[in-house]
């Protein structure tokens, strides 16, 4: 901690710290609540006017790249709502199937109209998804659709394998993990329809069985 304090410009009880330090509650991608130390901008940073929209530096820097890849694993694999919203031209460059290690797809994001797809870290499963190359304009639409500004999902940068190559992509993860609930038939249809010609038959079959099991509960 002494080395990290030095890196962050923190000295206990110093009113002019670059950063101040305190314990906060955080959630990991398994849905567990933990207590962790965090550093907050101190007196020396009050005049800063730089703004990171989601508070995630990794996302902030990734979106400055010329090539942005988006990993969709739920209903955004389907084109129908893109067409209805007039944004389908942002999603017409699908580069292939992406494979995300050590995560599992769950319907653990609760909503008023059934469970929504989420990815949950578990260390041994794999999630397949449709990877698009998108312009920056597509991100604004996705932020609204995924409820980023109402804390439903958060953007994050992940490593996915595309045709055997390890690449970085943006995706969205539910901010709170809850007990899985059945998706609506329409939502499930979007996911299965969007997976065609991109995801493996074995993964789609596994996904169908999972949805059917939840619908029967």
Task: Enumerate the active-site residues.
Answer: 146
Enumerate residues 6+ apart whose C-beta is below 8 A from 153: 109, 118, 146, 147, 172, 173, 174, 175
62 token code pair: 């990734």
Q: How far apart, in whole angstroms, are the C-alpha atoms of residue 184 and residue 186?
A: 5
Instruction: Name residue, tokens 């902030």.
Output: 60
Instruction: Take residue 1 and report the two structure tokens written for it.
Output: 């901690």
Residue 138 has which token pair? 């597509």
First-last CA distance in the chain = 48
- The angle formed by the CA atoms of residues 206, 119 and 93, to the nearest 5 degrees, is 85
Cα angle value 137/58/150 (rounded, 5°): 60
Is the distance from CB of 148 to CB of 141 less than 8 angstroms? no
């Amino acid at each position: 901690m002494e080395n990290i304090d030095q890196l962050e410009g923190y000295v206990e009880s110093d009113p002019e710290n670059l950063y101040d330090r305190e314990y906060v509650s955080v959630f990991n991608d398994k849905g567990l609540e933990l207590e962790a130390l965090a550093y907050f901008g101190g007196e020396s940073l009050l005049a800063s006017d730089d703004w990171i929209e989601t508070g995630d530096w990794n996302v902030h820097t990734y979106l400055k790249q010329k090539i942005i890849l988006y990993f969709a694993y739920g209903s955004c694999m389907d084109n129908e709502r893109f067409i209805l919203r007039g944004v389908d031209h942002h999603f017409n460059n699908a580069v292939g199937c992406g494979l995300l290690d050590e995560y599992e797809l769950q319907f653990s994001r609760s909503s008023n109209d059934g469970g929504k797809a989420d990815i949950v870290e578990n260390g041994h499963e794999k999630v397949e998804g449709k990877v698009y190359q998108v312009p920056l304009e597509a991100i604004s639409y996705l932020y609204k659709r995924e409820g980023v500004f109402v804390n439903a999902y958060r953007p994050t940068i992940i490593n996915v394998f595309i045709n055997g190559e390890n690449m970085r992509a943006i995706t969205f993860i539910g901010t709170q993990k809850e007990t899985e609930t059945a998706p609506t038939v329409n939502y499930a249809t979007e996911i299965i329809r969007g997976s065609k010609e991109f995801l493996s038959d074995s993964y789609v079959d596994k996904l169908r069985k999972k949805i059917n099991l939840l619908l029967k509960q």
